Amino acid sequence: MSATEIDYYELLEVERGADDKTIKSSYRRLAMRYHPDKNPGCGDSEARFKQISEAYDCLKDPQKRAAYDRYGHAAFQQGMGGGGHPGGAEFGDIGDIFESIFGSAFGGGGRQQARRGADLRYDMEVSLDEAFHGKQTEITIEVSQSCEPCNGSGAEPGTGKRGCNMCGGHGKVRAQQGFFVVERTCPTCHGRGEVIEKPCRSCGGEGRVDKPQALQVEIPPGVDSGTRIRLSGKGEAGPFGAPPGDLYIFLHVKRHKVFERDGTTLITRVPITFTTAALGGSIEIPGMDGENLSIDIPAGIQSGKQLRKRGAGMPVLQGRGRGDLVIEISVETPTKLSARQKELIRELQATETGDECPQSKGFFDRIKEAWSDLTE
């Protein structure tokens, strides 16, 4: 087997019994990897892209795949199986017969449309405040755009295109494979049915050039890390005037100094004095909308207890309302006390009976029970 006759299944990295969905998925993945636009100037990538495209063109068609599974590459070599057709039908007659029966599988379809431009990805980092309020910003990207001098045609202004001599302007060539007639994309015009007489000097005949493009991006309130914004038609220009691809902006929200986020819920940890924890009270914390939020602290609250403020969280993306704000309490023990404060605390300690702190009492009761079991 020659270098150009690598097994089609190996080229597409699938098993011989793979279904159509698996073959299509693998082709798309490999086409993205080896696409000439993704590997400019790399001859090996361009050659591999052509090979996998040829392999997919065969395996996606049930009749072609059946012929390939039976005869391999020999199924697509001119004159395989000898012969012709009983009754002396000519090549064109056979093609017409199969075109009338199978349509584009063996004869129809005409020239290929120029492929759409590639989609692009842009990663953007925003603050939690920007994610809360939303914002409009501008980005500048280097992207292939339609060549202005030739208007994306690839032909030098004042010149034109002519029909391809290889395929007669059809974009495809036929080959007789015994009783069958197989169609393949024309290798000269690559399916366009026409060739450029004189390539444009600005774009080298590609119909597109790389240049910076400034774009306005609207970031809606409520976005989160992983949110994707699609700018239709702002990707790479398609070759030879084909439609452009899309630009996808992937957002990443930076960590905030005060708030953590879980979907539309905001979480913050607030330290309070042990007197406030014991007696209760209220505290104020700033919300993401700039308003101060009053939080009521119930008497006897413990560290780790969570309080919830309804509707004070993040906006619902593309929806109504807001999530909640969760305040996790941390009771702080004082580290610097005056003599008077120490005296007051000793007075408080002297009045303790053990019932004031049920969790502590329950814990030490369990310790005593466990110790008694060990000593019995």
Residue stretches of the annotated binding site for Zn(2+)? 147, 150, 164, 167, 186, 189, 200, 203
Distance CA(163)–CA(167), nearest Å, equals 8
- Is residue 52 within 8 Å of residue 58, measured between CB atoms? no
Q: Which residues are annotated as a binding site?
A: 147, 150, 164, 167, 186, 189, 200, 203
Concatenating the DSSP letter of every residue in 290-336 gives S-EEEEEE-TT--TT-EEEETT-SPBPTTSSSB--EEEEEEEEPPS-
> What is the residue type of 84?
G
Which residues make Cβ contacts (< 8 Å) with residue 269, sequence separation at least 6?
A: 327, 328, 329, 330
What are the φ/ψ torsions at residue 59 (nearest 5 degrees)?
A: -75, -20
Alpha carbons within 13 A on the beta-carbon side of 296: 2
Q: Report, in angstroms and rounded to the nearest whole number, the Rg of the chain calculated over CA atoms.
A: 36
Token code pair at residue 146:
């339609």
Taking alpha carbons only, the member of 240, 157, 154 closest to residue 204 is: 154
Token code pair at residue 9:
């299944």
Tell me how far CA of residue 7 lies from CA of 2, 3, 181, 200, 273, in angstroms: 10, 10, 21, 38, 74
Length in residues, the chain: 376
Distance CA(54)–CA(206), nearest Å, equals 22
Three-state DSSP state, 322: strand
